[in-house]
Structure 1
Amino acid sequence: MTVTHPLPRTDADPFGRDVLADPTAFHAWLRDAGPLVHLTRYDVYAMGRYEGVHAALTDWQGFQSAAGVGLSNFRYEPPWRPPSLLLEADPPHHDAPRAVLSRVLGPRALRRLRDAWHADARRLVDEVLAGAAGTHELDAVPALAQAFPLRVFPDAVGLPQAGRAHLLPYGDHLFNSFGPDNDLVRAGAGAIGGHAAWVDGQCRREALDDAGFGAAIWAAADRGDITHDQAPRIVRSLLSAGVDTTVHALAAVLHALATHPAAWKRLRAEPGTARLAFEEAVRWESPVQTFFRTATADLGIGGAVIPDGKKILMFLGAANRDPRRWTDPDRFDPSRDPSGHVGFGMGLHQCVGQHVARLEAEALLTALAERVTRIEPAGVPRRHLNNTLRAWESMPLRLVLR
């Protein structure tokens, strides 16, 4: 006999501005309430503990992505755009696109890019610091966290220079759309048509150069690994999720290093630890805070039941600070082993571009460490609110030069 227990409930809004600005208290309540909580405002089920979130991410059969990874349930309502073949598909439909993109973004491709990206990072740092002597103040979000991905990643995909300003607002609206139809979504709705049209146009074979990730995806279609109808949708997945997430992850590690001087000192002494610092910042800040799944049957969790067809909201940010999994989880500690964090997801749908993000971070942090003795806050940073992403709008920093 199955024993059920009363399910904790709350009318709190995880997409309210106060929670998005600082989810720490809500995440702590969610973890302490139990392995499963009913969010009555949206009639969805929530998980905030590491064990449950990890299990849900790796169980694609029970926790479906194909019904959408946002609040909208594709079983009952049409999506506002064609679903992603990576994020919003399950086997067998997910398999071929995932295999192609895993090869395109694999170790061999990134080895070819490593030296060029490190050189490009040095050029960017030189440009930012041109004429500076002693100290230099800047807003690290546009000057570094946005600037570097927007110059190297579109190049690697094979995009033209013109029009790249569409990428960030397009991605911002996409990640907002995973939440409810609130003021954040409505703020971007008026312009999304133009941004989406530009992005869709760049996914065509003739819009891409013949040496980038995009051309490699179309070549896979020519070989029959995927269909020619799938190729532009896979390129679109790169442009949808490959910029904003990295921008916010870079901002997270810059904020962490600016507010933890010993960590920056350690990185300068041991540049090889740049990736470890980035990984810990992704755990600590969780630039991707949430994703939804849909129950494919009645699912028993912690003595409660999620009914078939109901949405489950997984709080990656809460899981990454679960004291049941991490020691002193609210502390940024680049000396810890952060492996196993769910900041890039987990399982079959784990972020296929995570190694690209790591290489971008390694290049930018290494270039900064070569010229900058200290990184310090130079003003009050300001959050950018998004229904899915934890982001910074502005981050004034003071760079003390060598």
Structure 2
Amino acid sequence: MTATVPTGTTAPTSDVDPFSHDVLEDPLPMHAALREAGPVVFLSRYDVFALARYDDVHAALVNWQDFQSSAGVGLSNFRYEEPWRPPSLLLEADPPRHDAPRRVLQKVLGPRALRRLRDGWAADADALVDEVLSRGTSFDAVADLAATFPLRVFPDAVGIPQDGREKLLPYGDHAFNAFGPANDLVARGAPRVAELSAWVNAQCQRDVLAPTGFGADIWAASDRGDITPEQAPLVVRSLLTAGVDTTVHGISAILHSFATHPDQWRRLREEPSLARVAFDEAVRLESPVQTFFRTATTEVRIGDVVIPEGRKILMFLAAANRDPRRWADPDRFDLSRDPSGHVGFGMGIHQCVGQHVARLEAESILTALARRVSTIELDGPPVRHHNNTLRAFERLPVRVALD
């Protein structure tokens, strides 16, 4: 079925709702249908152009000149609509406004900082795994590991106080829901938006943050003139918005992948150095961040379709990460694969600046588990958590055997 798009060219069209609960529960059939329909599919329900094939998604991600982020990476178009909060200086900005904050964060989250954290995070992961296993060999891998570990170590690294950290997850959940349409998922979080936003904004202030940590380093960058004092709290906010939920869901994805691929768990135990490859392969397979939008700054031709200036495109990162044109046996979790080209962290200048932090968190947990656990398997049906942007588990019951 085709529809005439505003430029007079034709594109396959679909009335699928990518944000419906049926699709959020199992998006894979929709992804396959979009990939097979063509390089560009017009989504009539939301009046946007969808990209689901790897090559096209990758090309759009790196082409910030023609597909801007500053008009919003959600369905809302900031050219005409007021955002619900000040736009992110990392995610919702383009050069030159984007450049200085990103340079600061790249340095703050660089190799030297991660080397300082490695031993402490490994010890924290060992302690958490021992604590969980002391209670029994059946547990919820989301509540007990994936959601607990990032909330222990990452806020410490940023330098925010202990009190109130439980607010980070619902705040991030709403922020990622808000990239989609104003549906029931957005309405669910709306009553707490003011409270959660006020709390997060307060944590970004210099006098609240610890004297050492990522937050203090960002404020020090403003003292040097690398960014302005007005930008500093927004850069800290970017860490607190995007640095917790996504890592929680990434760790959940890797634990689910191993629970459903026991041969790969055996391989990890034999080769612990594969922990980071395993995390990236799980991010490819599950794509905790499923989608992002961009806005065309000019007429852009993709295949036979011209996307008009000012129109939104919806990039299905998850569909690209399972595109058989790019990946052999894409639905398999395979530690023999080189997953490094996946777009689960984005690509180009807007690629996730904190991805190495997430890898270190996942590596810490996997290494601690691999030393103690000989097998890991599902102990009941997993329960999904629906979000307009994120692929997540609400519960992940597992059963392990110990050495």
* Same fold by TM-score greater than 0.5: yes
1:141 aligns with 2:142: yes
State the Cα distance separating 1:6 from its structure 2 match.
Answer: 2.4
Q: Partner amino acid for 2:126?
A: R
Q: Partner amino acid for 2:353?
A: V
Distance 1:249 1:131 in 2: 24
Residues 236-292 of structure 1 show CA distances to partners (whole Å, capped at 9, x for unaligned) of 000000000000000000000001000111111111111111110000000000000
Residues 60-87 of structure 1 show CA distances to partners (whole Å, capped at 9, x for unaligned) of 0000000000000000011000000000
- Listed as ranges, the matches of 1:70-89 within 5 Å are 70-89=74-93
- Listed as ranges, the matches of 1:108-119 within 5 Å are 108-119=112-123
Which of 68, 80, 96 is the equivalent residue of 1:64? 68
1:54 is aligned to 58
Distance 1:131 1:378 in 2: 16
State the Cα distance separating 1:335 from its structure 2 match.
Answer: 1.3
Distance 2:153 2:34 in 1: 39
State the Cα distance separating 1:399 from its structure 2 match.
Answer: 1.4
1:212 is aligned to 213
2:4 is aligned to none
State the Cα distance separating 1:195 from its structure 2 match.
Answer: 1.0
Change (3 A) 1:182 1:107: same
Q: Which runs of 5+ in 1 are unaligned?
A: none
State the Cα distance separating 1:192 from its structure 2 match.
Answer: 1.6
Q: Percent identity?
A: 69
Kept in 1: contact 2:9–2:306 (CA 8 A): no
1:124 aligns with 2:125: no
Distance 1:326 1:275 in 2: 19
Residues 190-225 of structure 1 show CA distances to partners (whole Å, capped at 9, x for unaligned) of 112111111000000011001100000000000000
Q: Following superposition, which runs of at least 4 residues in structure 1 exceed 6 angstroms of deviation?
A: none
Q: Partner amino acid for 1:165?
A: E
1:95 aligns with 2:99: yes
Residues 147-204 of structure 1 show CA distances to partners (whole Å, capped at 9, x for unaligned) of 0000000000001110001000000000000000000000010112111111000000
- Listed as ranges, the matches of 1:364-375 within 5 Å are 364-375=365-376
1:254 is aligned to 255
Kept in 2: contact 1:251–1:391 (CA 8 A): yes
For normalisation by structure 2, the TM-score amounts to 0.97
Question: Secondary structure in 1 aligned to 2:147?
Answer: helix
2:3 is aligned to none
Q: Over the residues paired in the alignment, what is the CA RMSD in angstroms?
A: 1.0
Distance 2:33 2:108 in 1: 41
Distance 2:34 2:134 in 1: 47
2:339 is aligned to 338
Larger mean Cα displacement after TM superposition, 144-153 or 4-13: 4-13
Question: Secondary structure in 2 aligned to 1:393?
Answer: strand
2:174 is aligned to 173
State the Cα distance separating 1:130 from its structure 2 match.
Answer: 1.7
Distance 1:258 1:5 in 2: 47
Question: Secondary structure in 2 aligned to 1:153?
Answer: helix
1:198 is aligned to 199
State the Cα distance separating 1:131 from its structure 2 match.
Answer: 5.2
Kept in 2: contact 1:316–1:343 (CA 8 A): yes
1:157 is aligned to 158
Question: Secondary structure in 1 aligned to 2:139?
Answer: strand
Kept in 2: contact 1:4–1:303 (CA 8 A): no
- Listed as ranges, the matches of 1:284-363 within 5 Å are 284-363=285-364
Distance 2:212 2:201 in 1: 19
Distance 1:101 1:220 in 2: 9
Distance 2:135 2:329 in 1: 42
Q: Which runs of 5+ in 2 are unaligned?
A: 1-6
Q: Partner amino acid for 1:102?
A: Q
For normalisation by structure 1, the TM-score amounts to 0.98
Question: Secondary structure in 2 aligned to 1:45?
Answer: strand
2:13 is aligned to 9
Distance 2:259 2:384 in 1: 16
Question: Secondary structure in 1 aligned to 2:327?
Answer: coil
Distance 1:267 1:275 in 2: 10
Question: Secondary structure in 2 aligned to 1:60?
Answer: coil
Q: Partner amino acid for 2:70?
A: A
Distance 2:301 2:8 in 1: 9
Question: Secondary structure in 2 aligned to 1:345?
Answer: coil
Distance 1:357 1:131 in 2: 27
Question: Secondary structure in 1 aligned to 2:46?
Answer: coil
2:28 is aligned to 24
State the Cα distance separating 1:4 from its structure 2 match.
Answer: 7.7
Q: Partner amino acid for 2:392?
A: A
1:39 is aligned to 43
State the Cα distance separating 1:382 from its structure 2 match.
Answer: 0.2
- Listed as ranges, the matches of 1:198-277 within 5 Å are 198-277=199-278
Q: Report the count of equivalent residues.
A: 397
Distance 1:368 1:106 in 2: 26
Distance 2:135 2:195 in 1: 38
Distance 1:321 1:177 in 2: 25
Question: Secondary structure in 2 aligned to 1:120?
Answer: helix
Distance 1:140 1:281 in 2: 15
Kept in 2: contact 1:296–1:309 (CA 8 A): yes
Distance 1:342 1:12 in 2: 23
Kept in 1: contact 2:14–2:44 (CA 8 A): yes
Question: Secondary structure in 2 aligned to 1:129?
Answer: helix
Distance 2:365 2:376 in 1: 14
State the Cα distance separating 1:5 from its structure 2 match.
Answer: 5.4
